[in-house]
């Protein structure tokens, strides 16, 4: 079987997206060029790698096998680059980071500080929700991931580096504003605007209130912290968000953090990768930077 690394990279992009147009955009190629690479690869393999049903394409059995090996080959080539760079003592390269959408309120500051002392490093940052992070961890697409509590069922190396307090927010005119030590039971009469199912904040919120034996009335579901804050400002209910997301709103007095018993819910931010993953010198340097200096670079709104 005669094939090229270029064909494997193009194939992997199409297999990942199951869409020729998106693969072409990722590879900075035209769609006909992508189609030609796939056709040549299928001719070399001797079997079809994709099948089309309606407007959707799917991997064939041969395609699924080829996708597995293409990822293994790509990972081994990256590890070879890492080993060679380490032998050369190279302090340049690429760093691919994915962060939870809430962490994007502070992640750029970490990256900017790190980049200032590693000017030869090219950094890519992907901001996504928890589901997206878990998919990227599963496929080993990124060097490192910054997220909330990682899933126990995945064999991950996860180290905490920063507190992540979750607080209850209200509009300034809400009846609970100004009260001290609000009992959790009083919240059962309130409507909450919440994150989507599966988000780290939603999981932590539901676990906490379940342990306290408190049942909340949830109203609208939102897919971002910004949407929750806008809805709470508009008087659609209370919200639970990370304190890290509230700098501007607290400064301008558009939102208020309620004084509620047992709050904040204290979570942590973790820097995460597969256990046993061989980190590049750049990725290892960034991980050590985050663990040693990250917390000192990030201030929590309302706490200094």
Residue 238 sits in a domain whose CATH number is: 3.40.190.10
pLDDT score of 141: 83
CA-nearest of 78, 240, 137 to 146 is 137
pLDDT at 86 over 70: no
**Within a domain: 303:** no
Q: By residue range, what is the domain housing residue 274?
A: 92-162+268-297
Average pLDDT over all residues of the chain: 88
pLDDT at 304 over 50: no
More confident residue, 173 or 86: 173
β-partners of residue 193 are 239
Q: Are 70 and 135 in the same domain?
A: no
CATH number of the domain that residue 38 is part of: 1.10.10.10
Give residue 79's pLDDT band: very low, low, confident or very high (50, 70, 90).
Answer: confident
Q: Are 231 and 249 in the same domain?
A: yes
**Within a domain: 22:** yes
* Contact indicator for 133, 98 with CB cutoff of 8 Å: yes
Q: Are 98 and 191 in the same domain?
A: no
Q: How far is CA 68 from CA 11, 24, 35, in A?
A: 11, 20, 20
Q: Are 262 and 170 in the same domain?
A: yes
* Contact indicator for 161, 291 with CB cutoff of 8 Å: yes
Q: Are 158 and 273 in the same domain?
A: yes
**Within a domain: 215:** yes
Q: What is the DSSP letter of 175?
A: T
Here the tokens at position 278 are 């061989």
What backbone phi and psi angles, to 5 degrees, belong to 222? Answer: -125, 150
Q: Are 114 and 138 in the same domain?
A: yes
What are the pLDDT digits (tens) for 221-269?
888 889 999 999 999 999 999 998 898 888 899 999 999 998 999 989 9
pLDDT at 89 over 60: no
> Percent of the chain beyond pLDDT 70?
95
Give residue 111's pLDDT band: very low, low, confident or very high (50, 70, 90).
Answer: very high
Residue 257 three-state SS = strand
CA-nearest of 258, 266, 265, 267 to 181 is 258
Among 75, 102, 129, the domain-final residue is 75
**Within a domain: 87:** no
Mean local confidence (pLDDT), 65-69? 92
C-alpha–C-alpha distance, residues 215 and 188, integer Å: 6
* Contact indicator for 258, 169 with CB cutoff of 8 Å: yes
Residue whose entry in the numeric block shows the structure tokens 């959707």: 56
C-alpha–C-alpha distance, residues 202 and 220, integer Å: 13
Among 75, 107, 137, the domain-final residue is 75
More confident residue, 297 or 92: 297
What are the pLDDT digits (tens) for 113-171?
998 888 888 899 999 888 889 888 888 889 999 998 888 888 899 999 999 999 999 99
pLDDT at 97 over 60: yes
Q: How many domains does the chain have?
A: 3
CA-nearest of 138, 10, 2, 28 to 70 is 10
C-alpha–C-alpha distance, residues 138 and 158, integer Å: 14
Give residue 63's pLDDT band: very low, low, confident or very high (50, 70, 90).
Answer: very high
Q: Are 34 and 48 in the same domain?
A: yes
Q: Are 133 and 221 in the same domain?
A: no
β-partners of residue 88 are none
**Within a domain: 43:** yes
First to last CA, the chain: 63
Mean local confidence (pLDDT), 269-297? 89
More confident residue, 180 or 81: 180
Q: Are 150 and 177 in the same domain?
A: no
Q: How far is CA 191 from CA 187, 227, 238, 242, in A?
A: 8, 16, 6, 18
DSSP string, 192-219: EEEEPTT-HHHHHHHHHHHHTT---EEE
Give residue 66's pLDDT band: very low, low, confident or very high (50, 70, 90).
Answer: very high
Which own/partner contact pairs does 78-84 have at CB distance under 8 Å and 24+ positions apart?
78/280, 79/278, 81/280, 82/278, 82/279, 82/280, 82/281, 83/278
pLDDT at 303 over 70: no
Burial class, 72, CB count within 10 angstroms (exposed 0-12 / middle 13-18 / buried 19+): exposed
Q: Are 276 and 183 in the same domain?
A: no
pLDDT score of 120: 80
């Amino acid at each position: 079987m005669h094939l090229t690394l270029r064909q494997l990279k193009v194939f992997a992009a199409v297999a990942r997206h199951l869409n020729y147009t998106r693969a072409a955009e990722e590879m900075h190629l035209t769609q006909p060029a992508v189609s030609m690479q796939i056709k040549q690869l299928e001719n070399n393999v001797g079997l079809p790698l994709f099948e089309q049903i309606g407007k959707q394409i799917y991997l064939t059995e041969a395609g699924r096998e080829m996708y597995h090996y293409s990822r293994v080959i790509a990972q081994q080539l990256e590890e070879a680059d890492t080993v060679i760079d380490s032998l050369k003592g190279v302090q340049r390269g690429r760093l691919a980071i994915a962060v939870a959408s809430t962490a994007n309120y502070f992640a750029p500051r970490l990256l900017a500080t790190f980049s200032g002392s590693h000017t030869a490093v090219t950094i890519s940052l992907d901001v996504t929700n928890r589901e997206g992070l878990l998919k990227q961890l599963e496929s080993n697409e990124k060097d490192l991931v910054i997220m909330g509590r990682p899933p126990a069922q995945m064999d991950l190396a996860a180290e905490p580096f920063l507190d992540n307090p979750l607080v209850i927010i209200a509009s300034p005119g809400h009846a609970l504003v100004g009260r001290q030590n609000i009992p959790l039971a009083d919240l059962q009469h309130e409507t909450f605007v919440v994150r989507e199912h599966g988000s780290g904040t939603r999981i932590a919120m539901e676990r906490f209130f379940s342990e306290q034996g408190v049942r909340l009335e949830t109203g609208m579901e939102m897919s971002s912290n910004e949407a929750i804050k806008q809805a709470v400002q508009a008087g659609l209910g209370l919200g639970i968000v990370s304190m890290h997301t509230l700098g501007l709103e607290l400064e301008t007095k558009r939102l208020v953090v309620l004084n509620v018993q047992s709050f904040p819910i204290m979570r942590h931010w973790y820097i995460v990768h597969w256990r046993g993953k061989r980190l590049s010198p750049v990725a290892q340097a960034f991980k050590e930077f985050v663990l040693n200096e990250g917390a000192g670079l990030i201030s929590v709104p309302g706490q200094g």
